[in-house]
Structure 1
Amino acid sequence: MLKPIIIVGYGPVGAILSLLLARNQIPVIVIEAATKYPEEPRAVGLFGPSHSVLEDAGIYEEEKRQGMPSAGLSFRKRAVDDGNGGQRMGDCIASAKFAPEVNGETPPGGHFILIPQAKLVRIIAEEMKHADLQQFATVQMGLKYLSSEETEDGIKVIAEDTEGNTHVFEGSYLVGADGSRSDVRRKLGLKLHGTSWPERLISADVLRTTNNVPEIPSCLVVDPELWAAITPLERIYPGQPGLWRYSMAVSDESVPDQELEKAEFVISMLKKHIDGPYNQEFKVIRSKPYKMHQLLCSSMRKGRTFLAGDAAHVNNPIGGLGLNTGILDADALAQTLVQVLKQGRPESLYDRYSYERRRVFQLYVDPISKSNKQRLHVSSPDIVANEDWFLASIMSDDPEEKFSPYKWMANWKTDMAAFKM
C-alpha cells in the first residue's frame, strides 16, 4: 500500500497539489503551521495556463464564480489633482483587451481571473470536504514542520502543534510548499540565489465607493517614484462599495521598515493613488508590507523531498507570475508523481521535474517579472509607450506585431508526459 505524500504548507500551491493528488487517488497528508486560513493581501490574478489546472482539479467554475473575469489591462500615469477638490485617475498610457467574449462568456485560458489567493485556498478546502476526496487527503492545521529524515522505503516527518506536542508522520515523499521562508528547504541545506530590490511594496485591501469604473479597471501605474498596481477584488459597480487592492511602491529607502506597518503611513500612501474627492471615506481592511526579490533554488528535488512554489523560487509580485508559477509547479509535480507511482515511469522523472520547472523560471518567469517591474519606473511615463516593446505591442493594430498572451503562456506549463525517460 502506498504511503501518503506529506505536504508542508496549505497555501495555494500545497492546496492545489493535494487536491490534484487526491483526485488521482494518491493519499496525501498536509500539515500547515497556521491555525486558520490566512487573509494576507497577496496575489490576485490567475492566468490562462492555471485555468486548465483548476479544471483538472474540478474547481474552475467555482473559482470563476467567486472571482472577477478580466480580459484586459491598462497602464496609467499617477493620479493628479482634478481642480475640483479631489484627484482623477492618471492619463491612460496603453491598454488592451487580451481576449474577446464568446457568446457572452470569456472561455477558459483566454483571460485572467481576479481572485485573492486566500479565497482560492478556501475554495479548495471546501472541495476537499467531498467524501470521495476525504478518503485520500487529510489537512491538519496548527502543525509546524520541525524536521524530516529518509527511511528505507519512505520519509519520516516530525511536526509540533501549538501546545508543544510532537507528531510523527510516515510517508513516501515530502513536498515543501511552505513559502519563501521554507523550513523544508532550509533543513535540506538548499538556498535561494539571486537579487533583492531596494524598493518595498505595501499591499492594501481597501473598501471604497467610486462612480468612475473604467472599462478596464485593473491598471498599473507608471511613475519613477509612485509606481503601483491597482485592481478590483470583486465586481465593482458605480456608487456601491467595492473591494480594491492597491499595491504601492515605497521607493524612499530612508523610510524605516516598521513605518510601513503603521495605519497612518498606509493611508497617506493610499491618498496619493485613490481617485475622487480628497475627503472621501474609505476603509483599509488589511495591509502588509513586502520586500521584493528575484530568487531561485539550486534544485527543486533532493532525495525524497520536492520543493514547489515560493519555497523554490521568488519574484516580485508585479504581474501575478509567482502565484501562477506555483500552481503550475504543483501541476507538474502532480503529473510526475502520478506517472511514477501509478503508471510505472522511472524515478528519473523526478529530476526532470526539477530541471524543467527551474528552466521555466530562468527563461521566462524571472526575466518577464523583472521587466514587469522595471517597466513601471525606469522610463518616463511620457515616453514609455514608445520606448517599451510590450506597451507598443499591446497597442498595435498589426497582427504580426501585436502581443499574443497565448504564445508566451504556452511556455509556462510543463507536460511531464512529453519527456522520454
Structure 2
Amino acid sequence: MRMDVDVLIVGAGPAGLALGIDLARRGVDALVVERGETLAPGSRGKGLQPRTMEVYEDLGVLDHILAAGGPYPVGMVWADGEQVGEHAMFDPMEDGEEGCRFTVPWMVPQWRNQEILLARLTELGGTVAFGREVLRLEQDTEGVTAHFRSGGPVRARYAVAADGGRSAVRRALGIEMRGETLDPDAALVADVRIPGLDRTWWHLFPPSGPDSGFLALCPLAGTDHFQLVARLPEGTDPDLSPDGVRKLVAARTHLAPEAVTEVLWSSDFRPRAALADRFREGRVFLAGDAAHVHSPAGGQGLNTSVQDAYNLGWKLGAVLSGRAPEALLDTYEEERRPVAEHVLGISTAIHRDEARRGASTRQLGLDYRRSSLSEETRENPGPPAAGDRFPDLTVDGVRLFDRLRGPDWTLLTLADGVFLVRPDGYVGWAGATQDGLGAYRARVGLDGSSPSRRPGTDAFRP
C-alpha cells in the first residue's frame, strides 16, 4: 500500500514537535497532526532542565530559547502582607556534576517553547496539520492508517502518540496507564497580568488558615505575565473565570482583586503520577505525557517528554533509512520506560516534600547503562562509562559537544579511552582501544554505516 508519510506524530506539544524536528533533520518524511486549531496556550511546563537545554542546542533552537526566557527567581515568602523570608527553589551544583554548560533550569513559558519548536520544524520543511483529531488507528505488517474526525486518512510506516496524558491513541491501543492521584485537592493554574508586583521574586503565599490554601505567583521570564498556581480546598469546583481568579488572589494575598488586570489563560488539574504499561504497540509508540504523567512539582514532565523524542528520533531515522535493523526500535521502551519510572519517583518525592530540586532533577545523571545498546569493555571504567551521557568537555580549546552535534554516531579517541557516542549523546561502546568495536557495530546493526569522524575528532589527547 502507498504510504503518505514515513512517520505520523499525533500531538503538537513539546514531545511531538521535538520529534518532528529530529526526524526532519534526518530527511525523514514526517507529519505532525494536532486536534486543536492552534498550539496549546498557557505557561504550563515552564522549566527546562540542563539536559534538555543540551538537547535543544543539538536541535538548533537553543539561541531562541535563551532569548525567550531567563533564570528562575528566588522565592519570597509572604505572611499577612509582609515579606517574611526567602526560599531557594533549587539546590546548587554538587561535586561531580561538572561537564555541563547549564547549571540551573531555564524558564520559558510552554506556549513560547512550542512556538520556537514549531518555527524550527517549519524551517526544516516539516509540517503540522491543525484541526486533525484522530478517531482510530488500524495497523498491519507494513504500516499504520489513522482516521480523523475531519479530512481523509493518513497512511504511515510508524506512528507516535504524543497527544498528552489523556491520549486518545493510547486508549485506542488498549494500553493501561497505572498510577495514583497524589493529591485529592484540585489545583488551579493561570497566566495573569499584575502590574506593579515586584518581578524580582517568585511570590509564595502559604495557607493562612484551615480554610485557606497555598498560592504562588511566578514572574514568567520573557513576558510581563505571572503564572499563578493555587491549591484548592477539597471538594471545591475551580472557578476558572477571570472574576474567579481575581477573587482567589484577593482571598490569599495582600493584593486587591483589581490588581489582576488581565487573566490570559486558566486551567485546573489534579496532581497525578502514572506510567503506561508499555511504550509500544506494533508500529505505534508512546512518547511524553501519553506514556508518563508527573506532578508539576519537580519540573520533570516536559523535560522527560522531550528526551523521549530525542531517544526515539535517531532510532526511527536509522531504521527507515535501512542502516539499522527494526530490532533497534525495541530499545526505545527498553531505555525510556525505566527512566520515566525513575523520574516519576523523583517528581512524586518532591511533591510530598520528601526531596529537593537538585542534581536528580537536572537530569544530567540519567543513563542507559543497563541497555542492550551499551557495551563497556574497559576493566576499570571511569566516567563516562558506556550508557552515560557524554559530558560537555573542552579539550585543547575545542568543545567536544561541537563535534558531537548532528544526527550521526561519533567516534572519540581520548587519553582515557575510545568512545563511540550515539546520536543522542550517550556512550554506546567504550574501550581502552578499538579492539571489539567492530563486533559491537555488527551487533547493533551499524555495519552498513560509518561513525562520523569530523576533522580532528579521533585525535584529541587531553
What TM-score bracket applies, with the shorter chain setting the length? 0.7 to 0.9
- What does residue 80 of structure 1 align with? 79
Q: Deviations over 1:124-169 (max 9, x none)?
A: 2222332xx21xx2221111111122234222111232xxxx4111
Matches within 5 A, 1:96-135: 98=92, 108-130=101-123, 133-134=124-125
Aligned residues: 365
Distance 1:221 1:326, change over 3 A: farther
Q: CA deviation at 1:406?
A: 8.3
**Equivalent residue for 1:189, pick from 174, 180, 192:** 174
- What does residue 60 of structure 1 align with? 62
Contact residue 200 and residue 291 of structure 1 kept, 8 A = yes
- What does residue 52 of structure 2 align with? 50
**Equivalent residue for 2:85, pick from 88, 91, 115:** 91
TM-score by length of 2: 0.71
Structure 1 window deviating more from structure 2 (146-155 vs 176-185): it is: 146-155
Q: Deviations over 1:148-201 (max 9, x none)?
A: 22234222111232xxxx411111100000011111101111010010131211
Q: CA deviation at 1:404?
A: 4.0
Q: CA deviation at 1:347?
A: 2.4
Q: How much is the aligned-residue C-alpha RMSD, in angstroms?
A: 3.0
- What does residue 162 of structure 2 align with? 177
Q: CA deviation at 1:264?
A: 3.4
Stretches (4+) displaced over 6 A:
none
Instruction: Determine the C-alpha separation between the residues in 2 that align with 1:68 and 1:319.
Output: 18
Distance 1:357 1:415, change over 3 A: farther
Distance 1:208 1:338, change over 3 A: same
Larger Rg: 2
Distance 1:279 1:122, change over 3 A: closer
Q: Helix, strand or coil for the counterpart of 2:54?
A: helix
**Equivalent residue for 1:409, pick from 347, 356, 364:** 364
Instruction: Determine the C-alpha separation between the residues in 2 that align with 1:362 and 1:220.
Output: 30
Instruction: Determine the C-alpha separation between the residues in 1 that align with 2:252 and 2:139.
Output: 52
Q: CA deviation at 1:272?
A: 4.7
- What does residue 296 of structure 1 align with? 275
Q: Does 1:247 align with 2:241?
A: no
Ranges in structure 1 where 5+ consecutive residues have no aligned partner: 82-86, 101-106, 237-241, 376-387, 395-402
Contact residue 231 and residue 246 of structure 1 kept, 8 A = yes
Q: Helix, strand or coil for the counterpart of 1:418?
A: strand
- What does residue 325 of structure 2 align with? 346
Instruction: Determine the C-alpha separation between the residues in 1 that align with 2:332 and 2:204.
Output: 33
Q: CA deviation at 1:120?
A: 1.3
Query: Which one-letter code corresponds to 1:177 in the other structure?
Result: A
Identity of aligned residues (%): 27
Instruction: Determine the C-alpha separation between the residues in 1 that align with 2:203 and 2:364.
Output: 20
Distance 1:127 1:314, change over 3 A: same
- What does residue 324 of structure 1 align with? 303
Instruction: Determine the C-alpha separation between the residues in 2 that align with 1:372 and 1:230.
Output: 19
Q: CA deviation at 1:202?
A: 0.6
Q: CA deviation at 1:113?
A: 1.6
Instruction: Determine the C-alpha separation between the residues in 1 that align with 2:48 and 2:24.
Output: 22
Q: CA deviation at 1:366?
A: 1.2
- What does residue 385 of structure 1 align with? none
Instruction: Determine the C-alpha separation between the residues in 2 that align with 1:351 and 1:47.
Output: 27
Q: Helix, strand or coil for the counterpart of 1:359?
A: helix
Q: Helix, strand or coil for the counterpart of 1:260?
A: coil
Query: Which one-letter code corresponds to 1:321 in the other structure?
Result: Q
Contact residue 249 and residue 257 of structure 2 kept, 8 A = no
- What does residue 185 of structure 2 align with? 199
- What does residue 368 of structure 1 align with? 346
- What does residue 306 of structure 1 align with? 285
Query: Which one-letter code corresponds to 1:248 in the other structure?
Result: A
Q: Deviations over 1:336-371 (max 9, x none)?
A: 2123333633323322211221101222x1121112
Instruction: Determine the C-alpha separation between the residues in 1 that align with 2:136 and 2:248.
Output: 41
Instruction: Determine the C-alpha separation between the residues in 1 that align with 2:257 and 2:6.
Output: 56
Q: Deviations over 1:193-225 (max 9, x none)?
A: 0101312111111111236444xx346666596
Instruction: Determine the C-alpha separation between the residues in 2 that align with 1:47 and 1:275.
Output: 32
Query: Which one-letter code corresponds to 1:287 in the other structure?
Result: S
Higher relative contact order (CA 8 A, sep 6+): 1
- What does residue 448 of structure 2 align with? none
Q: Deviations over 1:59-99 (max 9, x none)?
A: 110111112234x654x54x222xxxxx2344224455747
